[in-house]
Amino acid sequence: MAEGTKRHYCEPDYVRSICVIYIVCFWHMVSYTDISGFKNFRSQNIFEQITYCVLACFMIISGFFAYREYHGFKDVLKYYAGRFLRLWPLFAIAEIAMVFLGINDRQMLPYVLCGLGWLKKPYPLTLWFAGVIFLFWLLSPLLSMKKWQISAGIAVTAEVIFVALSVFFTADERLYFYWPFFAAGCFFGKLIREKDFRITIDTLRGRIITVAISLTCIALSVLISFITDSKDFKTATIPAAVLFIAGWFFFFHVLHCKFTDTIARHITYASMCMYLFHRVFFEILCRRAGFKVNSVGAWILAVLLIFTAGYAIQFLYDFLTGLPKKVLNPKTEKELH
């Protein structure tokens, strides 16, 4: 049977929650608000770079949870089936809704539903990420081989192919932007689980030092993004992403307790549907129903509504399909990552 993690690591849940909140509640929501301050901040290069950094962190976490130990081809098929059932039906509903609302191109619907939205322009808004993740998940068992040299060779070969598809054809360049981060996350997951890595901070001094280091990492990440005077993906995103995820990882490790774990777990539970459906929700709420997000209070209300909607959709889907909802139980750490 394919093995997942030996134990659950809560810190990636925290970081993933931060990433989802940033993308859904700030980066994309700005397009639906009338708050001038938001729009002014959104136009700055630093936020383009921070967004690249956040998406890179998301890829690292996805790769981390994609690592498995396989004991035969049946395990690989089981992994594929679990991932497909977990994401594709919701992904398909979101894409059909976005086409119906005029957000994404109708002609691209067959490509997107086949997970090939990255193959040709116009790439789907938001759901390009899910299509890329599908492809990376397909390749992830090859990165989980016992011999590091073979897995590393496969990762490099895939990167070369992705670059070629983008340069010589019409494939989305974000394939080769984010593949190294996903592969690194997968390799990191392999290392962590083989060593059963643990961090123990028992003293107040140790916690203070850890918080200081983590905040320094986050500040350096933001500084790198700030001095990168461009709206394009740059190599500076690599150290920025590493510092960003390391900083938040250690910061949340210090905050680790039952209460904060519960909050992070519920946000993580709702995060996938928040991401998949937030443009549909904002389109209906703000542009069709006329809800005005013109104040911080209205923005907070919209955030709470999209969280509630995402949570409800995920819970209903799990209930209807019979998927285990044990992700809400702190003792669980199965396929639902």
259 part of a folded domain: yes
Rounded Cα distance, 337 and 327, in Å: 8
| C-beta neighbour count of 294 within 10 angstroms | 12
- Assigned domain for 44 exists: yes
Q: Is residue 125 in a domain?
A: yes
What's the pLDDT score for residue 13?
73
Residue 337 lies in a domain: no
Q: Is residue 4 part of a domain?
A: no
- Split the chain (337 residues) into runs of 10 and give each run's mean pLDDT: 49 78 82 68 70 84 85 88 90 94 90 88 88 92 84 91 90 89 86 62 58 65 60 63 68 67 81 91 84 81 90 91 56 43
pLDDT value for 67 = 85
- Burial class from Cβ neighbours inside 10 Å (0-12, 13-18, 19+) for residue 96 reads middle
Give exposure, 220-233, as e/b (b: 16+ Cβ within 10 Å).
Answer: bbbebbeebeeeeb
Q: Is residue 334 part of a domain?
A: no
Indicate whether 315 belongs to any domain.
yes
Q: Which domain holds residue 187?
A: 11-328
Q: For residue 335, tell me if it sits in a domain.
A: no
Output the DSSP codes for 93-133. Answer: HHHHHHHHTTSS-GGGHHHHHTT-TTSSSSPPTTTHHHHHH
Q: What share of the chain is helix, strand, coil (3-state, %, to 5)?
A: 75, 0, 25
Distance CA 266, CA 141 (A): 28
Number of domain units in the chain:
1
